[in-house]
């Protein structure tokens, strides 16, 4: 009897969700299914799976502990546990220590607990997930894939924050995020356009619920819009992006706002949601913008800020060869891409309207000096590839 192919489970834990995927590692990595437990802690939480099995059902999950137990119970009920070879976790923050993916150990978990203050909105839940899997399946290898790793070796001047030096010694610096997406996109750019393009002057725009940009040269990150936390940079679905730090003191004086309340505001009540006062979803806002000035202004500010970062990163790179759009907005919103690129002809960015409207892979005009591409990003596949590499498992190719 032919042995079953190795199976890799990928876990992407968020502040109110657990997204997962199952890959089979044969000649190449094949995605068997995708799933998610969404809206954890709310009365309308759901559990959904698409692929070899399909369902969507309401779920009572008051916290991540209950949610991960539901997931593990489901795996065991379907005997999927027996076939699992390893689990790969997206870990948002690697701090100053972790620059490479690694197998999770007791010592690493202790270090991740110490890193939790770096990202209190994500790290505790991510650690909880690794510990829960270890308790239930102690012999199952787990690998941490750090979202900050791609930016770990930023040039020193790009890492520095202009605050007193003593904080640098505590690990306060620009870290950057979306690293798994960016690593995947660099690999895809090399596959689609050749190694010369991937080694050139590239700006990657990961625009989704979370949004950031990275300036890449020689396949390495030289700057990125997110900073010490994922709240920095461009406006996002509910995150503010960059703000005047003096706003903290102003709101503390005028509204007696605490640091915790300020953090809640800039992470969960701002961005597209805060500006529009109706929705954090770009699709909704585009539909409403002709009737609702708040929706129109939210879209306009998002496009304007992304455009500014493209200009800044072109300056940091000394020019631009390729611009890549990825993420839910970047891949699916031609109107947003067009507005971002409008007026960037001086950089050599010119779009071909029909290609852009059709979400084609290359959307730049033939006369444009800069190749503008739309590339589907796949963080789960990147995690699965990474697990195979770390543990020496079978296939490392894409699906």
Residues in CB range of 57: below 8 A, 6 or more apart: 46, 47, 48
CA 127 to CA 137: how far, in whole Å?
A: 15
Whether 82 is catalytic is no
Closest listed residue to residue 306, CA positions, set 274, 338, 353, 266:
338
Q: How many CA atoms lie within 13 A of 110 on its CB side?
A: 3
CA 41 to CA 38: how far, in whole Å?
A: 9
Q: 271: alpha, beta or left, given left = phi > 0 and alpha = psi -120 to 50?
A: left
Q: What single string gives the DSSP state of each residue in 289-330?
A: TTT-HHHHHHHHHHHHHHHHHHHHHHHHHTS-SEEEEEHHHH
DSSP 2: P
DSSP 26: S
DSSP 27: S
Indicate which residue of 119, 147, 223, 378 is catalytic. 147
**What are the residue numbers of the active site?**
147
């Amino acid at each position: 009897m032919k042995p079953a192919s190795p199976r890799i489970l990928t876990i992407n834990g968020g502040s109110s969700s657990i997204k997962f995927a199952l890959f089979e590692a044969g000649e190449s990595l094949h995605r068997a299914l995708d799933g998610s437990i969404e809206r954890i802690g709310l009365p309308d939480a759901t559990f959904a799976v698409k692929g070899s099995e399909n369902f969507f059902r309401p779920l009572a999950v008051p916290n991540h502990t209950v949610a991960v137990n539901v997931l593990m119970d489901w795996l065991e009920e379907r005997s999927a546990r027996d076939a699992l070879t390893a689990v790969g976790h997206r870990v948002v923050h690697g701090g100053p220590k972790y620059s490479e993916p690694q197998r999770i150990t007791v010592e690493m978990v202790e270090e991740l607990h110490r890193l939790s203050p770096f990202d209190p909105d994500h790290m505790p839940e991510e650690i909880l997930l690794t510990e829960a899997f270890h308790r239930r399946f102690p012999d199952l290898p787990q690998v941490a894939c750090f979202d900050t790793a791609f930016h770990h070796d930023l040039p020193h001047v790009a890492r520095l924050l202009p605050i007193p030096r003593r904080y640098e010694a505590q690990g306060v610096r620009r870290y950057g995020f979306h690293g798994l997406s960016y690593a995947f996109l660099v690999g895809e750019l090399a596959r689609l356009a050749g190694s010369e393009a991937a080694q050139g002057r590239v700006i990657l725009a990961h625009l989704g619920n979370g949004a950031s940009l990275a300036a890449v040269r020689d396949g390495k990150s030289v700057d990125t819009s997110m900073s010490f936390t994922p709240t920095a940079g461009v406006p996002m679905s509910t995150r503010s992006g960059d703000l005047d730090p003096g706003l903290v003191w102003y709101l503390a004086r005028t509204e007696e706002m605490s640091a915790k309340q300020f953090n809640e505001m800039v992470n969960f009540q701002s961005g597209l949601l805060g500006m529009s006062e109706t929705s954090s979803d770009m699709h909704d806002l585009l539909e409403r913008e002709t009737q609702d000035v708040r929706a129109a202004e939210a879209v306009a500010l998002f496009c304007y800020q992304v455009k500014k970062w493209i200009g800044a990163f072109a300056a940091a790179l000394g020019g631009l060869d390729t611009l890549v759009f990825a993420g839910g907005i970047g891949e699916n919103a031609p109107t947003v891409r067009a507005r971002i690129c409008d007026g960037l002809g001086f950089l050599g960015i010119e779009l071909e309207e029909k290609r852009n409207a059709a979400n084609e892979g290359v959307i730049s005009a033939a006369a444009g000096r800069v190749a503008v591409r739309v590339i589907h990003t796949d963080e789960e596949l990147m995690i699965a590839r990474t697990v195979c590499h770390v543990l020496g498992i079978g296939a490392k190719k894409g699906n």
